[in-house]
Amino acid sequence: MYRSQTEPLQAIDLPRHRAIVALDIEQSTSRTDTVKAELRSKVYELFDEALRSAGIHRRYRDPFIDRGDGILALIRPVDQAPKVLLLNRVIPAFSRLLVDHNANIPHAEPQRQLRVRIVMHAGEVRYDTNGCFGEALDIAFRLLDAAHVKKALRVATAPLTLVVSAEIYSSVVRHGYSGIDQQAFRPLVHVRVAGNRHIGWIHAPGKAVQHQVTELAIYRQPA
């Protein structure tokens, strides 16, 4: 039976647009459960602090979704939480907080250092009584877990490696908004979801653009 035009649609039946930010702690499976508990608590604290520092408070986002060794954050499409703000305020703030945290860890306890991979995408997310799902989430997680992204973090001195989807690159990064360096993003990741090829752009600050071709060749080697 068709719904009447005046009958309200159940929100649970419809996809909702979200900015998708997910992160994973590097080498979490190599830590003891005691250390994992500490790192999990700290990454929640620091990521929430980074969001709030940019004015993206809890009322503008869904509750964090736990991923065991990481977090999924779904940001609602409101004026107070534009995607530009996630890239030019939240990610840098989160990176600085990680640096400060690691600086206070004794050298004798490297297992307590926090290093993370983080992905940013956007798209339609479906919800049911068990949680959320959808192709947009599949794309984000494939990018986050790509071998090239893991390798980029492994060889980086910074405690955070960011990969963004082609959608984020084309709609935000390439337009030159303040605080976002287009030249620091490189299309080094390729994943397939539902038979379609998706490109991920890794943020690699401080490297000359002319090295892009060489880096592409290096990153395409098996990890």
**pLDDT, averaged across the chain:** 88
The answer as to whether 155 is a domain residue is: yes
Q: Work out the average pLDDT over 138-146.
A: 97
Query: Quick one: DSSP state of residue 88?
Result: I
Confidence class for position 157, pLDDT limits 50, 70, 90: very high
The answer as to whether 1 is a domain residue is: no
The answer as to whether 5 is a domain residue is: no
Residue 22 has pLDDT above 60, yes or no: yes
The enclosing domain of 87 has a CATH number of 3.30.70.1230
The answer as to whether 137 is a domain residue is: yes
* Structural domain for 58, as ranges: 15-219
The answer as to whether 202 is a domain residue is: yes
The answer as to whether 37 is a domain residue is: yes
Residue 176 has pLDDT above 60, yes or no: yes
Residue 220 has pLDDT above 50, yes or no: no
Report whether 165 contacts 200 (CB < 8 A).
Answer: yes
pTM over 0.75: yes
The answer as to whether 4 is a domain residue is: no
Residue 89 has pLDDT above 50, yes or no: yes
Among 87-96, 150-159, 200-209, name the one with the lowest average pLDDT.
Answer: 200-209
Q: Work out the average pLDDT over 64-84.
A: 95
The domain tally of the chain equals 1
The answer as to whether 50 is a domain residue is: yes
Nearest-5° angle of CA 118, CA 60, CA 70?
25
Name every residue whose Cβ is closer than 8 Å to that of residue 196 and which is 6 or more positions away in sequence.
Answer: none
